[in-house]
Structure 1
Amino acid sequence: MVMLPPDNHVHSQFSWDTRSNGSMDLTCAKAVELGLPAIAFTEHVDFTAWGEGDVPPSADTSIVFRDRVRPFDVEGYQASVAECRDKYPDLRILTGIETGEPHLFAGSVAAVLASGTFDRVLGSLHSIVHEGRVLSPERVFTLRLMPPEDLMRRYFESMLDLIKGSDVFQVLAHCDFPRRYWPERAAPYDEAMFEEEYRVVFRALATSGRALEINTRSPLWSVDLMRWWYEEGGEAVSFGSDAHVPYRVGAQFDLAADVVEAAGFRPGRDRFDFWRR
């Protein structure tokens, strides 16, 4: 039996989209119950306005439909981490953030990173720029602003911009994020349809020396897809449940480990490491 890997992508009450459902304490308790060696609380860092040092695509690009987004309470977060480290001494608890569009919000992200110490930084693309607006893929699908296949290709292009335009993150999270919201009216999502787009993204990420996340909240990837990462030179895989509630920490990690192992990756140098080729 393979020991479960660390969960490097977890949210607590300090992420703006967990509402009252997040609990750092209960999430740690669940991780201990499952036997996870480590957990990283990678809280959302998103923004509702352009700040100093940011790089908007144009001077009039607007950020819309982000009414629920709130600033990250770094001080409260770090205090909670310290309490949990005292309460759960056998669980390695890492600090972290999930940076949304760090290539666009470079200055704003830098300010957050300067405000504390973070062990794990994820790079994420939760939005694309469409007709001068920063929009989530879910909103694009809902408003039917473009065919789903066109959105995916636009998303992969933007993902490439993110990889090349930001060096603040160690792990690329859910690199096909719109797939999570794939509309029922469309033909079923087909990884093979976007093989070349995946490979281009993987090649750029591998060249940068960073890790790719297998996200178990999104539809679980196939062995073929993970093998594309291996074939394009990918060195490391990070496992992330993207849990926003305690009971989902480590979800589907047994299946994800089978997928990653079948693609050619193995547990790393120690139980806290990424899996490696």
Structure 2
Amino acid sequence: MFTASGRGTPVDRCRTHPDECNRLARAPILDVDGYLDSIERCQHRFPELRILTGVEFGQPHLHEAQASHLLDLGVIDRVLGSLHTLEVGDDRSEPNTLFRKWSADEVMWAYLDEIPRMVAGSRTFEVFTHIDYAVRAWPIESAGPFDPRRFEEGFRNAMRAIADSDRILEMNTRRLWPWITQWWSEEGGKAVTFGSDAHVPEALAANFPEATAMLAHYGFRPGQRPEEYWTR
């Protein structure tokens, strides 16, 4: 595990030498016992809060056995699935790296084409997260502003696969895209959840008021409790 800041850290090296990011950014093995102990201590310290357990599986269709083993423990309340990397030969790379090697359109289509395969190849997650993940690294300097209409068919196919599998789509509030909500509802999506993707405490629940208003416009309504999915 590498540190998040500081001169000369691996992260600094990753920023200045992006081709090395995949080698450097290796997540540590999840300490399930330590995580559950932390949750229990938080629940004890803040009894007035309802604190749920959760896990995000990256590329779960490639690690189905390991993901299933964790779920068999019966201790995880909410299970997310995410797509962060794409196949490159015998390895996998993040979109931010691939945008420097492939054309921007090629990266986007490869990402969108992989989503239905991930949905079909895994039964371990219930929420698909940040469907706009590849868009975050879109190379605006070389490719111009991102236009979702150029990739509408790919986004809709991906959303249809998620909806047809009775899964939920996360409305990631790091960026609010009305077209995601619109296309999700038009492709049969019946439920959403919210995620601020907060990597720092100050960003927790950022843009939730705007996101809820947008979802309400497309017919989604909250559940009886705050943690429940919004449905239509």
TM-score, with normalisation over the residues of structure 2? Answer: 0.86
- More strand by percentage: 1
The equivalent of 1:90 in structure 2 is 48
Q: Deviations over 1:56-84 (max 9, x none)?
A: xxxxxxxx524442111111111110011
Give aligned pairs, total: 216
Please state if 1:201 is matched with 2:158: yes
> 2-side partners of 1:250 and 1:180: how far apart?
19
Conservation of the 8 A alpha-carbon contact between 1:241 and 1:251? yes
Q: 1:274 aligned to 2:232?
A: no
Deviation for aligned residue 1:19: 4.8
- Taking the aligned partners of 2:106 and 2:97, their CA distance within structure 1 comes to 14
**Secondary structure, aligned partner of 2:66:** helix
Percent of paired sites with the same residue: 42
Q: Secondary structure of the residue that 1:94 maps to in structure 2? A: coil
CA spacing shift, 1:247–1:271, aligned 2, 3 Å = same
1:17-28 superposed matches below 5 A:
19=4
Provide the residue aligned with 2:197 in structure 1: 242
Q: CA deviation at 1:275?
A: 0.7
> 85-94 or 154-163, which moves further after superposition?
85-94
Q: Which amino acid aligns with 2:171?
A: I
Q: What is the distance in 1 between the residues matched to 2:117 and 2:190?
A: 21
Matched, 1:182 2:138: yes
**Residue type of the alignment partner of 1:227:** Q
**Structure 1 partner of 2:107:** 151
In structure 1, C-alpha distance between the alignment counterparts of 2:26 and 2:165, rounded to whole Å: 33
Give the distance between the partners of 1:95 and 1:128, measured in 2 at CA: 28
Q: Deviations over 1:47-106 (max 9, x none)?
A: xxxxxxxxxxxxxxxxx5244421111111111100111111222111011000000111
> What CA distance in whole angstroms lies between the structure 2 residues aligned with 1:255 and 1:178?
23
Partner SS for 2:144 = coil
C-alpha distance in 2, partners of 1:90/1:19?
32
Q: Residues 201 and 18 of structure 1: is their aligned pair in 2 closer, same or farther, counting only changes over 3 Å? A: farther
Deviation sequence 1:130-171 (CA, Å, 0-9, x none) = 233211111112xx2111111011001111110111111010
Deviation at 1:269, TM superposition (A): 3.9
Gaps of 5+ in 1: 1-15, 21-63
Q: Which has the higher contact order (CA 8 A, sep 6+)?
A: 1
- 1:17–1:169 CA distance, 2 compared to 1 (3 A): farther
Root mean square deviation, CA, Å: 2.0
Structure 2: 5+ residue stretches without partners: 6-21
Amino acid at match of 1:215: N
Q: As a proportion of its length, which structure holds more helix?
A: 2
Normalised by the length of structure 1, the TM-score is 0.73
Secondary structure (helix, strand or coil) at the match of 1:76 reads helix
SS in 2 for 1:233: coil
Residue of structure 2 equivalent to 1:216: 173
